[in-house]
Amino acid sequence: MSTPQLILKQRAELLAVLCGGGSAEPLDCVLDLLLAWEVLVWEDYLSIQVAEKALNYKVRQLLDVVYDKGEDACSCLLAAMNQVLPEEQKAGLCFGEECAVVGKNRPDTATLTLLADRPVLVRKLRDNIDGALNVLLTTDCFTIKDCDVVQLPVYTPSQQVRRLLDQVRFKGETAAKTLLQFLEQTETTRPNPEDKENHPSANCMLYQKKLRSSVAAQSHTLSTYGGTGHFSLDDIYTDGLLEVMDGSGETTTLGLEDVVGPVGTLNDDADTFLVSGEAGSGKSTLLQRLHLLWAREALLTNIFLLFPFSCRKLNAEHRELSLKELLFLHCCWPDRGQDEGTLMKGVMKVVTSRPQAVGPSLKRYLRKEVLLKGFSPGGIDCFVKKHHSDPAMARRVIESLQANSVLLSLCHIPVFCWIVTKCHQELLGSQDGIPQTITDVYLLVLQHFFQRKSYQPQGVLGKAWLEEHLDTVLKLGQLALESLEASCYVFSGYELQRIGLTEQDVSMGFLIYCNDLSVTDCKRYEFLHITLQCFFAAFYLVLNRNSDRSAIYRLFQPKNKQLSGLSQRCLGHCIDSSVEGVKSHVTETPNLQITAQFVSGLLSQRHHNLLQECCPTAVRERKAKQVVKSLSKGMQRHFKSIPRPVEGEKKSMHAMPSFVWLIKCIYEMQDSSIAQDTMAKLDVEHLKLTYCNIGPVECTALAYVLKYLRNPVGLQLDNNSVGDVGVEQLLPCLHICHSLYLRNNNISDEGIRKLLEKGMKCERFQKIALFNNNLTDACTQHFAWLLKSKQNFLSLRLGNNNITSQGAEQLAEGLSSNQSLQFLGLWGNKIGDRGAEALADALRNSTTLIWLSLVDNGVGSAGASALAKLISQSKTLEELWLNKNCISREGVECLIEALKMNSSVKEVWLRGNNLSPEEEEELSKQESRLTF
């Protein structure tokens, strides 16, 4: 086949490879060669490089020009492409027979030399543009303006060199000669690479400076405030709750500076730090803050270079990139010394993802995992105050949140907090009631954005506002859904055009320009936040009349074994596919789950009025039925997985993460009959939801659904982030809980006050475990009331809190009039002798107490002798735990005396007290029930 035919036949493929990654570099390199080989003359070049034209126009133009020139030119073009393109991109392309580019005589003018040597000159000058410009300026060949034209920051260094060469050519022979002389001189004075010291070279330091200023510029504002110009990150950044878990499951709270610090390290050999958190919990913002502080040399000062990447944006990169291209193209291009530096030596990676996205096989490679749990209650106040410069307005918003605990619980997730704060006007003036669900919150933001662009006065968005903007919503919805299905989060202008999105649609503000430093020719867009993309996708599923009938079913039961986050394409190569079952182009499950939540919310009866003009009632009802059926089926699957109880044990269910998701979908529907029907089929005595990322939002949904359980249940929520607000959200289901386990959940006295106020009235409520929360003496009076008024309460565990002797005295007051408590745990508080005496005194008359733990409480011999009196009188006590106290021989002797009169006690634990090994041996001989 002749070469023109080859070009014609492969036109689409050639176009694709030359435009593929959106970078103009491959085309520019081909043009350099064709100019050097005299295949193109200057006029051809100008007809191709038209400034305002898009890259694909330029490539087409090149193909046309060369095609018209015939066989030889076409051969040269193919040869040039063969030379420029990386091996991987040449696969499948045919470049014809090898073409010998005939060596021409050396040109006789400097201007022509610049053309003939153009490919080499681009490489040589890239590291020395400043020097060349300086010479041209001092020899009056260039003006300042010429220099500015060359150095426009939108150009990559290679593009700047080409601009410089073009400008020199335009200036004429003298300028060209000056430039060639300069190059000759720099060649002879080029430093020997062997001379390089081990410390960073001047080039590296210059690059660090440039990178710092690029990163600072990039991280200065938050994308959700983009365009408004009101806030910098400094103005609005509010610390989130950060925790790290050690190997044994103990958690520690962290500051921003500890994210890459030593606390919580699990694997010293690994170099990857993971920050995990739910969508909208502030992961990207946290990284942005780290970037900004690094750029200002305020944090991470031992990190020499820092490269910010977005995996979502990298997924949109279709070309294979070298490491150098990856770092330079996507972050910041060095002006010189591009080949220096062993960049990957001592590298450290900080990665963010959703909690379930990182499976065990990837976790092995983590140095540590930091959990980001959103805002604390104090954080919410702080955020609102930062957002509203008018303190009166901030106060009103805070008051309205405090008056409405469901909304307050939503605000623990920063992205919801941002919406609620942003839409305060709609919120404070709302006639449709206060938002209850995340769908309500996102409808609020939708109204807010449309209102902003509406010509009507503030606050007046016609009743039919959705119908008015339906076209925009559907187009955004189509873009959102199609791209979610393809795990795509960054869109080119072409994709927007394909769907028919206009400038006006874009100006509504739901889409923003991609905020990164990559050097590409085309603008790229993304949704303001991934959750907003899910919301629009949900709208499309609900409103699109042409969608296939099984779309909703598919959403609720994703078929593929799906992977998400880290393991998706961007890092997909790093994972052993046999372990994780990697499939390419699978949609991220967590995003589909969020979409499903919005679909449930939009199809709720409550939004019937809003949707009625946009979607026929019959269609809406059919879809709503499909959702209900899917939810019910999903729950059934869970219930079926409950194992038969082992004899002597309770029938218990350990919830999978998708259980919480299904519950949240049911909550979005706000239909009690659905909740009731679903729960009627659940028959367990114990429901275990430990380590399930349950925060206040999840508590609201759990209580809404669990309150319909037929039989009482033990609800185990240990190791989540329930907090005081979450506790308040759980109250509606407290009547069905016989036990509540809330170990390690950031609960304080205020949460306990509310919990016990309700608990006192719940007949079935009998056990509570609150190990490792933030409780102080201020909560003990509430427990005292509970103990006094509830004579069927069985178990109170308050270990690892901050209760002192005062708290113990208060508790004792309640205990003295209680005749039901069997278990009392106060391990790891500070009750001391006084507290132990008060408790022992109060419990002396107890006819129910079986188990008492005062481990690690600063109890000495005085306390022990008071406990001895309890032992001598008790007929029920079986175990007494007194490890890690300061009891000496004298105290133990009192205990031994008392045990002589007691037959119920089986064990008294005394490890780690003030006794010598000899004393321990001697005393244990006297009483075998003592354990040292």
- Closest CB to ligand ADP among 217 and 680? 217
Query: Which lies closer to ligand ADP via its Cβ, residue 4 or residue 414?
Result: 414
CA 116 centroid distance within chain: 52
Q: Are 129 and 150 in contact (CB under 8 A)?
A: yes
Neighbours of 764 (CB within 10 A): 14
CA distance 453 to 849: 68
Query: In the complex with ligand ADP, which residue's Cβ is closer, 222 or 610?
Result: 222
Our CB check for ligand ADP shows the closer of 415 and 905 to be 415
Nearer to ligand ADP, 158 or 284 (CB): 284
CB of 488 to ligand ADP, least distance (A): 17
Residue with smaller CB distance to ligand ADP, 93 or 393? 393
- The residue whose two tokens read 């990837």 is 362
Give 273 or 383: the residue with its C-beta nearer to ligand ADP.
Answer: 383
Torsion angle of C-alpha atoms 602, 606, 607, 610, degrees rounded to 10: 180
Opening angle at CA 821, ends 911 and 779, nearest 5: 85
Q: What is the closest distance, in whole angstroms, from the C-beta atom of residue 541 to ligand ADP in the complex?
A: 22
- The residue at minimum Cβ distance from ligand ADP is 282
Residue whose structure tokens are 């050639």 = 14
Please say which residue, 284 or 567, places its beta carbon nearer to ligand ADP.
284
Shortest approach of ligand ADP to residue 567 CB, angstroms? 18
Closest CA to 655 of 704, 679, 690: 690
Task: Find out whether 907 and 882 touch, Cβ atoms under 8 Å.
Answer: no
The residue among 288 and 478 lying less far from ligand ADP, judged by its C-beta, is 288
Q: What are phi and psi of 344, to 5 degrees?
A: -90, -5
Pick 178 or 352: Cβ nearer ligand ADP: 352
Q: Which residues bind ligand ADP (CB under 6 A)?
A: 222, 224, 236-238, 240, 277, 279-285, 383, 414-415, 418, 529-530
How many Å apart are CA 904 and CA 898, to the nearest integer? 12
The CB-of-563 to ligand ADP minimum distance in angstroms stands at 18
User: Which is nearer to ligand ADP, 284 or 478 (by Cβ)?
Assistant: 284
Please state the closest distance from residue 287 (CB atom) to ligand ADP, in A: 8
**Closest distance between ligand ADP and the C-beta of residue 239, in Å?**
7
Output the smallest distance, CB 281 to ligand ADP, in A: 4
CA distance 620 to 606: 12
Residue 108, token pair as written in the block: 């006789």
Residues in contact with 120: Cβ distance below 8 Å, sequence separation at least 6, in sequence order: none
Three-state SS letters, 309-350 = CCHHHHHCCCCCCCHHHHHHHHCCCCCCCCCCCCCCCCCCEE
Q: In what order do the strands lie in the sheet with 524-527?
A: 491-492, 524-527, 511-513
Q: Tell me the closest approach of the beta carbon of residue 742 to ligand ADP, in angstroms.
A: 25
In sign, the C-alpha dihedral spanning 304, 305, 308, 309 is negative
Q: Which is nearer to ligand ADP, 418 or 539 (CB)?
A: 418
Count of beta carbons in the 10 Å neighbourhood of residue 912: 15
In Å, how far from its chain's centre is CA 558? 22
CB of 277 to ligand ADP, least distance (A): 5
How far does Cα 532 stand from its chain's mean position? 14
Kindly provide the b/e burial profile for residues 320-358, where b requires at least 16 CB atoms within 10 angstroms of the residue's own CB: ebeeebebbbbbbbbbbebebbeeeeeeeebbbbbbbbb
422 sits in which H/E element? helix 414-422
Strand 491-492 to strand 524-527: parallel, antiparallel, or no bridges (unpaired)?
antiparallel
The number of C-alpha atoms within 13 Å of 581 and in the hemisphere containing its C-beta is 7
839: tokens are 């408790």
In the complex, least distance from residue 768 CB atom to ligand ADP, rounded to whole angstroms = 32
Q: Which of 296/889 has CB closer to ligand ADP?
A: 296
Half-sphere exposure of 508 (CA within 13 A, CB side): 23
**Closest CB 531 distance from ligand ADP, rounded Å:** 7
Question: Is the Cβ of residue 95 or residue 383 nearer to ligand ADP in the bound state?
Answer: 383
Q: Strand, coil or helix: what is 912?
A: coil
